[in-house]
Amino acid sequence: MDRGGCQMNGGGGGGSDRSGPDPHGMITLEDLESFSEDQLSDSGNGSLEEEGETMEDDEDQGRLLHYWQDVARGHQVEVAQDMAEPIQQLTSNNQGRSQRQHIPFNLLGRKEKCGELLYEKRQYDKGHWACITMREDTYEQSICYGFMKIMKYICQQNSLGDYLGMTLPIVTVVRTDETHSVVSNDVTVAYFLPEYLQAQPPQPTENEIVIEMWPATTVYTRPFTGPTNEVTIIEQVNTMAEILDSPGVCINNSFIVAGYTNPAHSNRQNEIWFLERP
């Protein structure tokens, strides 16, 4: 990977079935706008989308921000006041499905055992990504703070001054030692630009975010649920290494965690990606 592993490297591969994630990777409309459904049910107010339809702008922003702040504290993350508008924009814009896109890929193959999916082999085309590298105390803090900065870029803090549209998954590049026992503090959070922006990506106003062209990449991917932290990532990396028929064809110290739900959601839908060597 270039630039400390921010870009995906891989090569080759064809395949004709271009598709989004399988059902195990799909999420509800609320997933990126809300945290735990239990948290929202306890409040008696329903989903954040329903709230967005009934509140005036100022009250709407305040209530949404309050939800994010309450749940984020449990992850030792502080959500600043200036996140109120991006949170509100992301919520209201994602009420319709038209602006939510899954990153396209070609499915090259699948391996199953007793009806259980062990992993898929996919080909992702080259494309522009908005990337930010974080170095917080924990992985969870890095992905949460990185995701919030990416949110601001998506929600008008860009050279177009407009909402760009949500794509899934949001990916994080993680680095480990050669024995897959320690996760580096450097974590890269990346957002794939929607198709209509690929030719001319809008520039971020946040100087920590960079726009990069990632090359076409072959990945081996396995789904998992739950929180993503140093412990679970190491577990998933080692499990995937054991399952792969030829782990030596993949890069050994950089991996991708693909998230289909908000980084602080209590029951995240994720995938671990191994990158095939170029």
Mean pLDDT over each residue of the chain, to the nearest integer: 77
Look at 32 and 277; give whichever has higher pLDDT. Answer: 277
CATH number of this structure's domain 3-28+100-275:
3.20.80.10
Q: Which pLDDT tens digit goes with each residue over 40-85?
A: 333 333 333 333 343 456 666 777 677 666 766 666 677 767 776 7
d(CA 164, CA 193): 8
Query: What are the backbone dihedrals phi and psi of residue 204, each rounded to the nearest 5 degrees, phi first?
Result: -75, 150
- Alpha-carbon distance 256 to 7, whole Å? 10
Looking at residue 23, its pLDDT comes to: 33
273 has pLDDT over 50: yes
For the segment 170-225, what is each residue's pLDDT rounded down to a tens digit?
999 999 998 899 998 899 999 999 999 999 999 999 999 999 999 999 999 999 99
Instruction: Indicate if the pLDDT at residue 106 is higher than 90.
Output: yes
Question: Edge-to-edge strand order for the sheet containing 187-192?
Answer: 18-19, 105-113, 116-124, 217-225, 269-275, 254-259, 170-175, 187-192, 127-134, 210-214
> Does this model's pTM top 0.85?
no
The rounded distance, in Å, linking the Cα atoms of 271 and 18 is 18
Q: Which range among 77-91, 107-121, 153-167, 186-200 shows the weakest confidence by mean pLDDT? A: 77-91
Q: Is the pLDDT of residue 150 over 70?
A: yes
Q: How high is the pLDDT of residue 267? A: 73
What does the chain look like in DSSP terms, one character per residue?
--GGGTS--------S-EE---GGG---TTTTT-S-HHHHHHHTS--HHHHHHHS-HHHHHHHHHHHHHHHHHTTT----GGGHHHHHHHHHHTTSSTTEEEPPEEEEEEEEETTEEEEEEEEE--EEEEEEEE--SSHHHHHHHHHHHHHHHHBT-BTT-SB--EEE-EEEEEEB-TTS--B-S-EEEEEEPPGGGSSSPPPBSSTT-EEEEEPPEEEEEEEEES--SHHHHHHHHHHHHHH-S-GGGB-SSEEEEEESS-TT-TT-EEEEEEEBP-
Q: Provide the pLDDT confidence category of residue 242 given band limits of 50, 70 and 90.
A: very high
Q: Is the pLDDT of residue 271 over 60?
A: yes
Q: Strand 166-168 vs strand 100-102: parallel, antiparallel, or unpaired?
A: parallel
pLDDT at 101: 84
What average pLDDT score do residues 125-131 get?
Answer: 97
Whether the per-residue pLDDT at 26 is higher than 60: the answer is no
- Report, in angstroms and rounded to the nearest whole number, the Rg of the chain calculated over CA atoms: 18
pLDDT at 266 over 70: no
Question: 52 Cβ partners below 8 Å, 6+ apart?
Answer: 60, 64, 88, 91, 92, 95
